[in-house]
Structure 1
Amino acid sequence: MERIMAQRQVALQEKTRQDHLGETVSLLDQYVVLNEQKARRQIAYHANQWIRENAARLKNSADNNDDATIPKIAQSLGEMIAPDAMEDKILRPEFTTDDVPFLRDANTFRRVVAWIDSPVRDDLLFADWLAGLRKSSAENADSDDDLTPMQIDRLQTAMRLFDWTVRNIALEPETLQPPTGLQIPPMPPGIPFEGPGFRQSDYQTLWRGRGDWLQRCGVFTQLCMQAGIPAAVLATQSDETGRRTPWCVGVLVGEQIYLFEPRLGLPIPGPNQTGVATLAQARKDASVMRRLDVAGYFDYPLSRSDISQSVALLNVHAETLAPRMKLLESGLTGDRRMTLWVDANDWAEKFDAVPGIAGARIWEIPTINEIYARGMELVAERDPAFAFWYRARFAVMESNDSSANNLAKGRWKHLTGQFVDDEIEGESGARTRYLEQRAPEFEIDDLRINVELQKQYGLRRELGVEPAQYDAQLRQMQDFMRLGKRTATYWLALVQYDDGRFETAHNWFTKRVLDQDQRSYWEGGAVYNAARSSEAAGDIESAISTLKTDRNVADHGNRLRARLLDKTLPTDKPESSDSSESESTATEEVTDADAE
């Protein structure tokens, strides 16, 4: 009888035990609409409670490591992170509120991966090449020279993640010019104001939908990590100074590293401009790098000799090496599964084993971003004018009052693939949220003179506020509304594309985003995506024409894509209006043959 009562007691405890892992993931999914400070405390609490409740089981599991030490590869961050801070980040056994942004980032990236790994995200330029790989693999199943079907699947997933990154992260210049009149704060050596790569985090790049090419590298490698695919930023290294200069992303599949160039928005084409080049091919065949030139327009800065040796830079945070992250990850299964921990030493060894890789280390950009962000916040606390510029740029989607931020809610729905309304739950999808953000122009214009409209938007003139000051606030609100409207318009066009509505997407990009009366910083991304929409709808010649408009920082990559698309057209088509590119390709073929 006592044994039966004990069993019942255990069963009752199990039934009433709170699902702390479920609460953790649920809070991460709701993060955008929660009070951030409260959410951080709750998430850290539930993660720690799960660790405590499962302490006995975890102690005997393969994921437990009571004798953990700081991994050797973490030493590459020693110049930027103090020893005690490094030990705290990696070896601290319990979760704190400082860990929550890392968990939020991992959850967001894994939610993106969950829906974009599908055929609608295939880049049609490489469809025949992938089909050829599968055919060769089936015909030569016993050959070590061909990728296995599983490896081809992983490569295809990486290609989908890259293509989504290029389409959804609008390309910015490496360095942004600050507004006229803004006093630039003193910067540490080697960290220029608004410099490349580190001016925003990978999460912010994903959330804001724009960034420079190094930030595209960050987003792509984070997506690969959540898909379980080893990826690293490849960098050349100066023999004189030791300076490392990133040039592309390498994805490790089997024993080969496949090359993806986020600055160009293309996988680096293989020999004869077919497929995705491997590092081995780029080191052997000079034409692989040479054909990244666009004759008369752009010269690619690197050649075969320049990339003969590269360093693999792993885009991981110190927290990614922490045993507590490994323990928490072990409990995340099924729909909750996400990558929180990687064996960075193992990744480094695998990359280092590939010919042409001269060592692997942790990429310093994420750590520099943390230092930069802390510094900017300190400056903003002291300088109201700087604070306004620093925070107002993205206030339309990163407002402190997140519960009232319709654009932020729409963005979360977009990033998680929830485009349509959920009538059962009564939840609006991304499409509806974005449409609601598109206030009519006359309404925006009337905001300064219509008191009732001001009330609808929660605006009121406080006691002691001068009329001129209140009018300035209203003008600022008008600017935010227009930015929010144009951002929502651009993102809505992207939703149409990802929903397979290519003609509708093209109309939105060309007639709404590129409307001369609705100018915005989304124009460059809209030109590229309008071309991709034409391409997906089967209008290749229109896509080529759009890619050659030469209107933005992505022109080099756009012209390369136009050249690759031109090769897919029937040979009896009318002669291209830009014959110089075709002639240059023919000349390269002769030159390459002579070189051999």
Structure 2
Amino acid sequence: MKFANPWRPTAAIAAVGLVAASLLTPLGCRPTKRPAAKRPNTGAASQRDSRGLLDSIVAQLRTLPESSQLELTPPAVVLDARSSADGEEIQGILRRRPDGPFEPANLITVPRGNAGFRKNVKPGDIVKYYGVPDEATQQRLEATAEVDIRTGQRDYSTADVDVLTFDAIDLTVAQVLDDNSLLIVGGFPNEDEAVRKIEVWRTVDSRMEEIQREWGAYVARREPPLEWHPSADEASLGQLTERLNQWLRQVGAAGKRADAGAWKRPTLLETLPESITSGVDLEPYLADDELATGYFRPYESRLVQGATWQRDVSRWARGGDLAPLAVARTLFDWVTLNVQLVEPSQTPPRWPWEMMLHAQATAAGRVWVFAGLCQQQHLTAVAVAVPVEGGDERLLVGVVEGTELRLFDPVLGAPLPGANEGAIATLAEVQADDALLRKLDLEDESYPLTAEAMKNARIGVVADAFSLTRRASELDTKLSGDDALALSVDVDGVAKQLGEVKGVGEVVLWQQPIQTLADKLAAKPSERRQAVRDFLPFAWRPQLWRGRLQQFRGVHQEADVKRNVLDETLDDHKAALRYFMSRKVRPSEKSLEQQKVPEEKREIYRAARTLGTLFLALLSYEDGAYSVAIDWLDNPAMDDASAAPYKPLVQQLRARSLEGLNQLDEAADVLDKIEGPMAPGAKLRARRLRERAVGAEEALGDEADQDAADEP
């Protein structure tokens, strides 16, 4: 069966739902990605469906920054499956009015009768009519449709592809006729006899009101406990969750029909303390059916997004390094420079993506972020907990290299020194030679670890609840090439690998990621308020969010592989610079004072300006523009009270920039002024810089002496 394409009278569409390749839309209509309605498929058709859905997921993951809504008055959904009469999708048919056979097709009716237009819809609302194949589907049409030798045109009814995802055409409501029929403004030459998914949206008065409702519900009632962040791309993330779950159904990896036997509960899960796993809130997240056949939860799409950040950062930050240990060293240095060390009392429980976004983390957080970067580069990084006096533990992070475990200290922001200059110590080496650890002693403070203590180190495999699920494994095994993502962790396999590593004793599942999930589910009001306060600059200044995402992605025009994105993103870091420098992110103090807003909002705007300035300095440093980085750090925006929490990071970045300018003594002086948890690492680096400066002076003196000796 075929039906006419209402946007192009000459085009024909097959019963499978294929639409003409050059589909025309009315003036002013704007496509918006949304998944197609559910459709049972089996065999080859089902495989094509799942492949097409996966293609659309990949395309969406590539362009998440571009999905950011930069306006604060976007349309909001007022009618969809969530608000329909029966909880199912609303599907409509576009026809002419019975009493107007020669008029344009401008009547939408809902055969199922579940719309409730009278209650929810009013003139001027936007109807999103999902009747246009998206770009990925269109490309598959072009690739598989046969060409009619008589006309030279493609016959799309011969295409070997199912329509999997659609773009929406935005139509304006002219009149609501009854609960299940309405008229749209204008219309189309032809009717569309196919049943199409529809949604109704409305332009809200203010995005800020919507943001306030979202974070208000979280602060007051912890609803929802995990995915409350009103980011500029939250609508796209919701769409991603929906598509991921459609794909899971297609491949039979979730729900009642999924084979639970295809997943095995990790043995290492049993090493978690009962005090964590027995929590009523946490228990559903670790249940067998959830891990084996569960669907993607909304917060997990954010974790997937965070994994793309880690993948992209790990690619461009490593530079030309290819040797695994060199890559690990470079990635650890990136974490040290970009993620300020803070005390646990200074931060609410955070995921790694939040730590990267806010540029702050505890020692455990630095370990977690670093482990994620390593995972994307196929390196195994583990948490190393070493007992110290008083019953506490000092946390290190180790990277597996064959049968050795190379050690890094997230507090010092430096690798543990080996016996040879520039070498990174292994676990076995520091267990056998305490002198290696004594290299980290300061004049007024001894390094807290000893060789004897290192013999009792407990190794923690890094994995959160999501990374243990079958759905994470299903997705990361299907992503390849430049789109590859490491999402799942075979914790038992890592434990087996560690059994071959020298010096390794007890191996457990590191409890920090699971504990973070538990802490978020039970977050205290004070923690929720701080989490919201920290996030609001990114919500109220979406350009700041967009710039941060492009800063992480780091695609450059000269890269070998181009993304299918807008031209401005062909150099993400330059685009990020523009967003961070925009008047929205960095308004003048005079303009802020003139705004008629409460002082509380003005403080949020100042915080956004501070963060934008800090990110500009970081980008300049990454580009090797050390003097420019210092200029940004000297900008008056960094004198605002909102910059105070970032003072150690600012000082460290200033010192690194001076070091890049070969002003070693000046850099050391700045490092010596750092206070708080980063002070020991700063003093250690200052000492090394002064040693380098002395060595450089001696080398110059020797060279001068040699030149003098060579004179006749």
Tell me whether 1:283 sits opposite 2:431 in the alignment: yes
For the 8 Å contact 1:271–1:288, the answer to whether it is kept is yes
Deviation at 1:45, TM superposition (A): 3.3
Tell me whether 1:99 sits opposite 2:99 in the alignment: no
Tell me whether 1:22 sits opposite 2:40 in the alignment: no
Deviations 1:223-245 (A, max 9, x none): 11111100011012589x9x772
Cα distance in 1 between the residues matched to 2:641 and 2:248: 56
Tell me whether 1:394 sits opposite 2:535 in the alignment: yes
Match of 1:490 in 2: 614
Tell me whether 1:375 sits opposite 2:522 in the alignment: yes
For the 8 Å contact 1:420–1:432, the answer to whether it is kept is no
Match of 1:348 in 2: 495
Q: RMSD of aligned C-alpha atoms?
A: 3.5
Deviation at 1:492, TM superposition (A): 0.5
- Give the counterpart letter for 1:30 in structure 2: L
Tell me whether 1:81 sits opposite 2:277 in the alignment: yes
- Give the counterpart letter for 2:358 in structure 1: R
Match of 2:265 in 1: 70
Deviation at 1:165, TM superposition (A): 0.5
Deviations 1:114-143 (A, max 9, x none): 221105xx8xxxxxxxxxxxxxxxxxxxxx
Cα separation, partners in 2 of 1:17 and 1:477, compared to 1, 3 Å: same
Match of 1:429 in 2: 575
Tell me whether 1:46 sits opposite 2:269 in the alignment: no
For the 8 Å contact 1:418–1:429, the answer to whether it is kept is no
- Give the counterpart letter for 1:331 in structure 2: K
Match of 1:562 in 2: 686
Structure in which a larger fraction of residues adopt helix: 1
Deviations 1:105-164 (A, max 9, x none): 322221222221105xx8xxxxxxxxxxxxxxxxxxxxxxxxxxx7xx111111111011
Tell me whether 1:234 sits opposite 2:431 in the alignment: no
Cα distance in 1 between the residues matched to 2:235 and 2:250: 22
- SS across alignment from 1:228: coil
Tell me whether 1:328 sits opposite 2:475 in the alignment: yes
For the 8 Å contact 1:420–1:429, the answer to whether it is kept is no
Tell me whether 1:265 sits opposite 2:413 in the alignment: yes
- Give the counterpart letter for 1:118 in structure 2: G
Cα separation, partners in 2 of 1:475 and 1:514, compared to 1, 3 Å: closer
- SS across alignment from 1:573: helix
- SS across alignment from 2:535: coil
Cα separation, partners in 2 of 1:492 and 1:69, compared to 1, 3 Å: same
Identical residues among aligned pairs (%): 23
For the 8 Å contact 2:396–2:409, the answer to whether it is kept is yes
Cα distance in 1 between the residues matched to 2:329 and 2:266: 30
Cα distance in 2 between the residues matched to 1:443 and 1:420: 35
Cα separation, partners in 2 of 1:107 and 1:514, compared to 1, 3 Å: closer
- SS across alignment from 2:454: coil
Cα separation, partners in 2 of 1:67 and 1:477, compared to 1, 3 Å: closer
Match of 2:178 in 1: none
Cα distance in 2 between the residues matched to 1:323 and 1:14: 19
Cα distance in 1 between the residues matched to 2:454 and 2:368: 20
Deviation at 1:338, TM superposition (A): 0.5
Cα distance in 2 between the residues matched to 1:75 and 1:13: 38
For the 8 Å contact 2:388–2:394, the answer to whether it is kept is no
- Give the counterpart letter for 2:397 in structure 1: V
Tell me whether 1:446 sits opposite 2:594 in the alignment: yes
Cα distance in 2 between the residues matched to 1:340 and 1:386: 28
Cα distance in 1 between the residues matched to 2:252 and 2:383: 37
Cα distance in 2 between the residues matched to 1:474 and 1:338: 43
- Give the counterpart letter for 1:531 in structure 2: A
Deviation at 1:272, TM superposition (A): 5.9
Match of 1:115 in 2: 316
Match of 1:181 in 2: none
The one of 357, 364, 374 aligned to 1:224: 374
Deviation at 1:509, TM superposition (A): 2.5
- SS across alignment from 2:400: strand
- SS across alignment from 2:383: strand
TM-score for both structures, normalised by structure 1: 0.71
Match of 1:500 in 2: 624
- Give the counterpart letter for 2:241 in structure 1: A
Deviation at 1:98, TM superposition (A): 5.1
The one of 524, 527, 534 aligned to 2:658: 534
- Give the counterpart letter for 2:338 in structure 1: N
Match of 2:598 in 1: 474
Cα distance in 1 between the residues matched to 2:412 and 2:610: 25
- Give the counterpart letter for 2:336 in structure 1: V
- SS across alignment from 1:234: strand
For the 8 Å contact 2:617–2:633, the answer to whether it is kept is yes
Match of 2:446 in 1: 299
Deviation at 1:253, TM superposition (A): 1.1
The one of 143, 165, 190 aligned to 2:335: 165
Cα separation, partners in 2 of 1:501 and 1:54, compared to 1, 3 Å: same
Cα separation, partners in 2 of 1:505 and 1:426, compared to 1, 3 Å: closer
Deviation at 1:96, TM superposition (A): 4.2
- SS across alignment from 1:294: coil
Deviation at 1:25, TM superposition (A): 3.4
Match of 2:403 in 1: 255
TM-score for both structures, normalised by structure 2: 0.60
Cα distance in 2 between the residues matched to 1:95 and 1:278: 39
For the 8 Å contact 1:524–1:553, the answer to whether it is kept is no
Deviation at 1:246, TM superposition (A): 4.2
- Give the counterpart letter for 2:292 in structure 1: L
Cα distance in 2 between the residues matched to 1:330 and 1:65: 18
Deviation at 1:519, TM superposition (A): 4.8
Deviation at 1:558, TM superposition (A): 0.8
Cα distance in 2 between the residues matched to 1:416 and 1:274: 30
Deviation at 1:331, TM superposition (A): 1.3
For the 8 Å contact 1:309–1:356, the answer to whether it is kept is no
Tell me whether 1:408 sits opposite 2:545 in the alignment: yes
Cα distance in 2 between the residues matched to 1:568 and 1:490: 28
- Give the counterpart letter for 2:575 in structure 1: G
- Give the counterpart letter for 2:395 in structure 1: W
For the 8 Å contact 1:420–1:430, the answer to whether it is kept is no
How many pairs does the alignment contain? 472
Cα distance in 2 between the residues matched to 1:309 and 1:326: 33
- SS across alignment from 1:250: strand
Cα distance in 2 between the residues matched to 1:30 and 1:219: 20
Deviations 1:510-552 (A, max 9, x none): 4557658985322210111111112223222222222222444
Cα separation, partners in 2 of 1:506 and 1:275, compared to 1, 3 Å: farther
Deviation at 1:93, TM superposition (A): 5.3
Deviation at 1:23, TM superposition (A): 2.3
Structure in which a larger fraction of residues adopt strand: 2
Cα distance in 1 between the residues matched to 2:295 and 2:502: 40
- Structure 2 residue runs of 5 or longer lacking an equivalent are 1-17, 19-42, 70-231, 254-258, 699-712
Cα distance in 2 between the residues matched to 1:311 and 1:561: 28
- SS across alignment from 2:615: helix
- SS across alignment from 1:277: coil
Deviation at 1:434, TM superposition (A): 0.7
Point out the structure with max Rg over C-alpha: 2
Cα separation, partners in 2 of 1:85 and 1:488, compared to 1, 3 Å: closer
